[in-house]
Chains A and B, each alone.
Chain A
Amino acid sequence: MTDDELTASRRDILKTGAVAGVGLGGGSGVLSTLQPADESGEAVDQVTSFLGEDQVVKTACGPNCRGDCPLDVFVRDGQIKKTEQQVPAASEFKRGCTLGISHVQRAYNAKRLKYPMKRASWSPDDPQPGARGEDAQFERISWSEALDLVAEQIQTTKGEYGPESVYWHAGSGSQGTSGYGRLKQLVGGIQDSFVYGIDTNVGQGFNRITGEGGVFMPPTNTVEDWANADTLIIWGSDIFASQFQMDAEWILDAKRNGAKLVVVDPMYTNTAEKADLWLPIRPGKDTHLALAMMNYIFENEVYDDTFLRQRTNAPALVRVDDGTLFDPTRVSDNPPDGGIVVMNEETSEPNVVGAETGGPFALFGEWTIDGVAVRTGLAALREQASEYQPADVAEVAGLSVADIKTAADWLATRGAGGILPAYSVGRYLYGHVFGQAYATLMALTGDYGRHGNVHAQHPSYGGPSLQTGDWGNPEGGVSLDTYGYQEILSLLENGDPVQPRFLYGTNSNMLGNQFPNRERWLNAMESLDTIVWADMYHTPTTQQADIILPAAHWFETEDVLGSDHHPNIRYREQAHEPLWEARDDYYIMAGIAERLGHGDKFPDDKREVLDRFVQNDDRLSWEQLRENGTVETDETPTVAYTDAFGTESGRITVYDDDAPTEKGPGLPDEGISLEVPEPLEARTADDWEAQNEYPLVFMQKHSKWRIHSQWANVPWLREVNREPQLDIHPKDAEQRDISDGEYVLVHNDRGSMVVRAKYNEGIQPGLVNTDQGWWAEDFVEGHYQDPISAETADVGRTFAFYDCRVEVERAAEEYQSNQYTQDNPRGTAGSASGGD
């Protein structure tokens, strides 16, 4: 379909002679928007038939929550009436949360983006980037004008400044077949990535010593296997609030089977409430705790020596002088690839061994070989752990000695164990060390490759579940240079090595939710001449755009989708056409492609693309998809880590001879080398330089009322979750003369926000929290990203949202009455939501 056809199908009443009727006194002459039914040729009855039947449309939710929930949407007379959870073909994965069943308030949200818009003060010749912001005004434009402008701006930007000044940004806010990846490869430019930038710490540390996974959550046994666990430690994740659909029932299965559940969390959460043992750790002390648990395991000799010998480099001989591994070629003429030198206790001779090889290898000891003093890697780790006696760590981390020992003992002695961390610990600057630490801890207890081992929450279902062929990699496409978010900020600020000038953004409310130090980003983006943004709703991010493109709600699109987190392919049947002039992202991409000469790569009808996916895959048929909504894939439950690890030695490197040196705030200038886990802290450290001025650690927990910032203003949800607030322990509040419910200024030298204080005894003194997912306009003043630094560390390269300290005081009198306290009809609680 061309844009003209699309536009014509939604005829603009103004162009069809809206004024024609004026002055005609009788008959149907006054009509312009309405017309007699016999002329309309449209058989659609616009009226609800009370006796009629609902049509059940099979579709699917699709934000970045890992739920991937198929949904049933009840449509009557062309309108969505309600949403229910759909039971998929693999029926044990039935799911769907409060957000999923409140979609009707997203689809029929009065503040949806309705038409393409252009910032009134923007024009190609005089973009006036300084006029962006809260007060920017927009005017409606047609789709063809909008797409012409986008295409022209891409062309002129490329022509004037080179292809690398065209910058493509997508968040994770929407699953669907849009052709975005295809288009950007055809057009060229640069792209940004979460890697490195957001939540890339914990997985990175885990990956560094196991060679497994990437920078996000590592592989794990799939959920059906969790019932075999004997001990589960949920570390810094409120699964029972924010990962409920994906993980909670499987954890309860394990509990019912007798597993012990330990929860490590500085807050008393919904999840902590389910625990057999809750460790209310002080912020930033997670690696201390992991080391104290290792200490217990060493002292009580409850480590898994067989596993350590066979699958880790614990027995590897390490030179005492420089910490490198003893050179295998000094022991063997022909050592296996990645082989390590171990001391054979039976022969008292060094051997070189490859991956997955056990034997009578010494785990501890010191020797001199060829005049070189060596000891085992495990000895180095034990020495490090010996510095972290449970009694000392208990003091530092605010825990009881007995609890630390119990947690360690359960993990080591009760059978199959699992640790489920989340991204939260990675939101400290040096959170990757925790990834290394828990991977090491689980190596000590031998918890890899067995039934009941768990290494992460929301497991993925392995291979590609949808056969998209070359859709994602079109012929003639180029691969784009990728910059992590933390690099993008400096590109925008310094133009080095490239200066982005044009930005296409989609599926993302980064400026309203996910970028730290918001004001810095807003300033940096003034270097962009053109910002184009597609979304379903007007977010604080689209407010910064020059051209706004209204995207369709998921229920208004047709699609075929894989699922990362359960073995079902999902179908989206279109419930109705997009409202107003919103458009399926596919048609937005196709419209741009056509104007840039790539029209042949985007079939006129999206169905053709989906049909290829279906044809590519023997498991799929349209009949099944339409009838059932899902088709089960053949992926089977897996036990992870059964083969050699992805490291050079094929072993978990509990001693990482190739360790990087981390540098950053709070660390000595020469940095700290990470052969074994070393607790590193920046602003959470007790001796942080500004600790007296800003004594409180500030976190922004996920809540069950948002996926990122989506659903932010769904009225049903706002009824129970009205405004951002600051969880603060009554002791901290009283010390500052703050009463429950008063508005407080939360600030540091970077920025501030004003929110309502909420006494909460579930949060420890010294820590405050505001749930994430609020938009700029929801704050009485400021934003929770304003006090957070965008600084990253050399190795971690990850934004550290929780590595933030603030002071809190009662807000000035003028803030005590505000949009939430005044009788202010329709004041703040507009009803838009969206973005990412």
Chain B
Amino acid sequence: MTENTPTATDHSTGDPRPSIADTFGTLAVCWREPSEGWVDAIESGRFEWLDGVETFGDLDELRVEYTRLFIGPGRDQCPPYESVYRDGADSDDLGPVYGPTTQAVARWYDEYDLRLRDSRSAPPDHIATELEFAAYLSANEDDSVLEQFLNEHLREWVDQFVAHLRENDPGPFYRALIRRTTEAINS
């Protein structure tokens, strides 16, 4: 563990470092599309440990970058869904959305009686949703359960996803986010 790695300290004790749940929860938010509320949250200082967040610059520019990297429509897009990196027939090619691993993730949520708030807004294996679920597990379950989820899912695809992302020239904010996210899920 590096000194910057978030630890499992409970946020409520006043330890400046966030809890694992907060870490994953924060990361989840950061992987969502930037919005006004999102900026407010960042400016509130809660995300400070994620050093690099201050480099997000202009919200409009970041939204354009987010669109380019995660929504498309262009060639640079890296769809942030697990199945895309795990369910393709050819590892050189982007796989589909709504693949078998999407189903496997949905089964985890189902196990905890969780549903997507809006089942059609995006497939359930969006990186932010998986991180949010990791936050939920770490807040509500034994570490071993979180470990199992990380092993079965995030650790299985995020490396490939971020490798693809790095090839498409992410700016400083997303570079920091990539670093923190891989650290968090691999710690």
Contacts and interface: CB of A to CB of B under 8 A. Distances in A.
Interface of A: 9-19, 21-38, 40, 42, 44-48, 78-79, 104-105, 108-111, 113-115, 117, 120, 136-140, 538, 542-543, 548, 576-581, 715-716, 718-719, 777, 823-827, 829-832
B35 to A, nearest CB: 4
Contacts of A9: 118
A22 B96 contact: no
B56 interface: no
Contacts of B109: 34, 46
B10 to A, nearest CB: 6
B106 A46 contact: yes
15 contacts: A15-B35, A19-B37, A25-B22, A36-B114, A40-B117, A44-B115, A48-B103, A110-B97, A538-B72, A538-B73, A715-B89, A715-B95, A823-B92, A826-B94, A827-B92
Contact of A38 (B26, B74, B113): B113
Nearest to A41: B115
A577 B114 contact: no
Secondary structure call for the A interface: loop
A18 B32 contact: yes
Given A25-B139, A34-B109, A47-B103, A18 B114 contact: no
Contacts of A829: 90, 92-94
B71 A114 contact: yes
A830 B94 contact: yes
Nearest to A34: B114
B38 A25 contact: no
A19 B29 contact: yes
Nearest to B80: A110
Contact of B73 (A44, A104, A117, A716): A117
B126 to A, nearest CB: 8
Given A13-B32, A26-B140, A137-B64, 19 more contacts: A10-B118, A14-B37, A17-B37, A19-B29, A28-B140, A32-B28, A34-B136, A37-B114, A40-B117, A46-B119, A46-B124, A105-B96, A114-B72, A576-B120, A579-B120, A719-B89, A830-B75, A831-B93, A832-B72
Query: Quick one: which of B33, B73, B91 has the most chain A CB within 10 A?
Result: B73
Given A34-B136, A36-B113, A25 B21 contact: yes
Interface stretch (B127-135, B143-151, B176-184): B127-135
Closest 10 CB pairs of A and B: A538-B73, A19-B41, A110-B79, A30-B135, A108-B96, A40-B115, A37-B113, A14-B35, A46-B106, A34-B114
B94 A22 contact: no
Interface in B67-123: 67-68, 71-75, 77, 79, 81, 84, 88-99, 103, 106-107, 109-110, 113-123
A140 B65 CA distance: 10
Interface string B40-66: 110000100000000000001001101
A79 B119 CA distance: 12
B12 interface: yes
Given A23-B46, A139-B64, A109 B97 contact: yes
A34 B72 CA distance: 24
Given A17-B37, A22-B25, A138 B68 contact: yes
Given A110-B84, A543-B73, A715-B93, A47 B107 contact: yes
A34 B139 CA distance: 15
A169 to B, nearest CB: 19
A580 B73 CA distance: 13
Contacts of A25: 10-12, 19, 21-22, 139
B12 to A, nearest CB: 6
B175 interface: no
A13 B73 contact: no
Contacts of B106: 46-47
Contacts of A542: 73
A31 B132 contact: yes
A3 to B, nearest CB: 16
A13 B114 contact: no
